[in-house]
Amino acid sequence: MRVVFSIAIGAGLALAGWSQAVVEHAVITGAGSTGAAAGSGAGKAVGGIFEGAGKTLGSARNEISAASAVAGASKAAATKEQFVPQPVDPSQITAGMDREDLLAKCGKPSMRTSQTKNYQLVENYWYYTAEHEPVVVTLRDGTVASVIGPPKAAAAR
């Protein structure tokens, strides 16, 4: 099977090379007596195309290198300041607290979404308990409106 595959690849490459040679020969010889002049102009045109492509690829390579350097620096900075959420006690969160008190007691949430409903800012903050149970705090215009926690914590309140 490998032999057949190798022969097929070799034949394909040979055919591609032969096709290229036929095209170049046709361009160089041209039609009738103007073959030499056409070949000369075609050679310069093809050379110009490859030169332009080389310049484009060179500038693209430089841009990619610069972008990689910036991304590498950003990734290094991100790994230094990686956020690790701290477990919270849902009993410390009560309806009526303002956003600043919530953040002071519980810290930055694991995830946060915000939207506007009926001209009112509604934010959802996700925290986790020490047992890795989710706690969802809903704020309306910066004030805690509801706390949805694990069943154990809800029963204890």
Say whether pTM exceeds 0.85. Answer: no
Boundary-marking domain end, from 60, 80, 100: 80
Based on the domain organization, do 75 and 120 belong to the same domain? no
Tokens 């290094």, residue located: 76
Boundary-marking domain end, from 59, 80, 101: 80
Q: What tens digit of pLDDT does each residue of 74-107 get? A: 665 656 678 788 899 999 999 999 999 999 999 9
Number of domains in the chain: 2
Based on the domain organization, do 109 and 61 belong to the same domain? no
Residue 85 inside a domain? The answer is no
Based on the domain organization, do 67 and 47 belong to the same domain? yes
CA 35 to chain centre: 52
> What does the alpha-carbon distance between residue 153 and residue 157 come to, in Å, rounded to a whole number?
6
> What does the alpha-carbon distance between residue 88 and residue 104 come to, in Å, rounded to a whole number?
12
Q: What tens digit of pLDDT does each residue of 12-70 get? A: 655 555 566 655 666 566 655 555 555 566 666 666 777 776 677 667 666 776 666 66
- Tell me the H-state helices in the chain: 2-29, 35-80, 99-106, 151-156
pLDDT of 145 above 80: yes
> What does the alpha-carbon distance between residue 102 and residue 127 come to, in Å, rounded to a whole number?
11
Q: Are 122 and 115 in contact (CB under 8 A)?
A: yes
> What does the alpha-carbon distance between residue 69 and residue 62 come to, in Å, rounded to a whole number?
11
Based on the domain organization, do 142 and 72 belong to the same domain? no
> What does the alpha-carbon distance between residue 28 and residue 114 come to, in Å, rounded to a whole number?
67
Residue 147 inside a domain? The answer is yes
Based on the domain organization, do 120 and 69 belong to the same domain? no
The reported pLDDT for the residue numbered 153 is: 45
Of the candidates 35, 12, 13, which has an alpha carbon nearest to the alpha carbon of residue 24? Answer: 35
The reported pLDDT for the residue numbered 81 is: 76
Based on the domain organization, do 12 and 68 belong to the same domain? yes
Based on the domain organization, do 32 and 65 belong to the same domain? yes
Tokens 């009560």, residue located: 94
Boundary-marking domain end, from 40, 57, 80: 80
Q: Return the structure tokens found at 122.
A: 């509604």
The domain in which residue 129 lies consists of: 90-156
Q: What tens digit of pLDDT does each residue of 106-142 get? A: 999 999 999 999 999 999 999 999 998 999 999 999 9
